[in-house]
Structure 1
Amino acid sequence: MNRYCFCLQVRPDRLDEYVDRHRDVWPEMQAALRESGWHNYSLFLRADGLLIGYVESPDLEAAQQAMAATEVNTRWQAEMTSYFSAGRPDETFQLLPEIFHLQGD
């Protein structure tokens, strides 16, 4: 399983709303993510709007393409785009290179 980290910028004036939307992510969206190959997916948000995402996947590009083909993702992205300053979050996030990983036992 490969590990991926990415960042985006949430509009500072929309932070509270963005957090609220993620308190109840649609069950069908969660199912689509799992079925598309997204595992151990987490989002972390800094007070200035810096959003860091972490996900594990055998192939992130294939997982993104599978999600892009779903109707639920189309609806979700249409609602999420207004929270970001640079377009659709699923198409504009910046991948960060991994430079260290502490292996488990």
Structure 2
Amino acid sequence: MARVGFTMKIKPEYREEYLKIHENVDHPLIDEYRRLGVNNYAIYLAEDGTLFAFLECDDFEAYKKAVEGSPNQKAWGTKVYHMFDIKPDQPGGLVMLTEAFHMDQKTP
């Protein structure tokens, strides 16, 4: 199972709207994520607009390819994409993180 962490940033003026829209995420999108092997997905928002996202999925590369052309993902993107503060050196606004530690059941 892949564990993936990444950050994004939203524009300050969209903080409340971003939180509000995530109170009711489209069920077709969630269902699609599950079909694509996503077992867990959480997003945390810091005061400065930084979003930290963590997801667990069976195959992250397969997931990324599948959602690129997904109508559900595109529909969701039209709702939120304008909120992101994207720098030219960050394709899609994502900054991928390296896992430095993970405590699991194998850890004594």
* Fold in common (TM above 0.5): yes
Amino acid at match of 2:57: S
Aligned positions of 1:1-105 closer than 5 A: 1-86=1-86, 91-104=92-105
Unpaired runs of at least 5, structure 2 = none
Q: Percent identity?
A: 26
TM-score calculated relative to the size of structure 1: 0.89
TM-score calculated relative to the size of structure 2: 0.87
Aligned residues: CA RMSD: 1.7
Amino acid at match of 2:37: G
Amino acid at match of 1:33: Y
SS at match of 1:29: helix
SS at match of 1:44: strand
Unpaired runs of at least 5, structure 1 = none
**Alpha-carbon distance in structure 1 between the residues aligned to 2:58 and 2:92:** 19
Aligned-residue offset at 1:64 = 1.3
Q: Which moved more, 1:8-17 or 1:65-74?
A: 65-74
Given that 2:8 and 2:51 are in contact with CA atoms closer than 8 Å, whether structure 1 keeps it comes out as yes
Paired residue total: 103
User: For each residue in 1:62-93, what CA deviation from the matched residue of structure 2 results, as whole angstroms up to 9, or x when unmatched?
Assistant: 10111122111111112211110118xx9331
User: For each residue in 1:17-45, what CA deviation from the matched residue of structure 2 results, as whole angstroms up to 9, or x when unmatched?
Assistant: 00000000011111111112222100000
**Alpha-carbon distance in structure 2 between the residues aligned to 1:59 and 1:91:** 20
